């Protein structure tokens, strides 16, 4: 009952859900006044929603980047709720690029989580072909399958060259005499 001399006041409650805090400048607000809030997510958390519930309904007060908010023109008892959620950090990943020529197969290129292990399988699929060269980041490796890369912390490339065993490779040999 308003008698014309006393200005009504209303309760303003601040509640947090999740890991963080919300603190109002007052818990008892005079009708028509404003209440300021300080919002502090815990480490590794962020504000995901900020709402105020009154007899008139629920309204949004802010965004996920807010550290302060103001409830303006208080007209009734109000519950302000700050909801916090864990910040999702995507894992660091690295691309393993694979390639080969005709005469065999190699696993397709794929992604590996940082610190993980990459295993690349390859095999000859054509009669009379053999594994001629296996290169990991351009460096010659043993010609056995699989190639395993442990503790992956950067992108890598694996290339396999298959040679036709029915063709005799030719090489140029140069000799130099000194002295």
Each residue's pLDDT, cut to its tens digit, for the chain (179 residues) gives: 556 678 899 999 999 999 999 999 989 999 989 999 999 999 999 998 888 898 776 666 655 566 888 888 888 999 999 999 999 999 999 999 999 998 899 999 999 999 999 999 999 888 888 898 999 999 999 888 999 999 999 999 999 999 888 776 666 677 777 76
Q: What is the dihedral of CA 167, 168, 169, 170, to 10 degrees?
A: -130
Predicted model pTM: 0.57
Question: Is residue 98 within 8 Å of 157, Cβ to Cβ?
Answer: yes
Q: What is the dihedral of CA 48, 52, 53, 57, to 10 degrees?
A: -100
What is the 8-class DSSP label of residue 90?
Answer: P
């Amino acid at each position: 009952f308003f008698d014309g001399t006393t200005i009504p006041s209303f309760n303003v409650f601040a509640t947090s859900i999740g890991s963080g805090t919300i603190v109002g400048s007052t818990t008892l607000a005079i009708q028509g006044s404003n209440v300021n809030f300080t919002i502090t997510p815990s480490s590794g958390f962020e504000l995901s929603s900020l709402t105020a519930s009154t007899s008139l309904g629920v309204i949004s007060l802010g965004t996920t980047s807010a550290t302060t908010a103001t409830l303006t023109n208080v007209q009734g008892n109000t519950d302000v709720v700050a909801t916090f959620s864990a910040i999702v950090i995507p894992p660091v990943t690295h691309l393993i690029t694979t390639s080969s020529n005709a005469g065999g197969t190699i696993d397709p290129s794929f992604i590996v989580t940082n610190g993980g292990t990459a295993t690349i399988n390859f095999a000859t699929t054509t009669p009379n072909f053999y594994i001629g060269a296996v290169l990991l980041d351009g460096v010659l490796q043993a010609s056995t399958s699989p190639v395993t890369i442990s503790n992956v912390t950067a992108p890598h490339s694996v290339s396999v060259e298959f040679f036709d065993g029915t063709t005799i490779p030719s090489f140029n040999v140069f000799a130099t005499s000194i002295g």
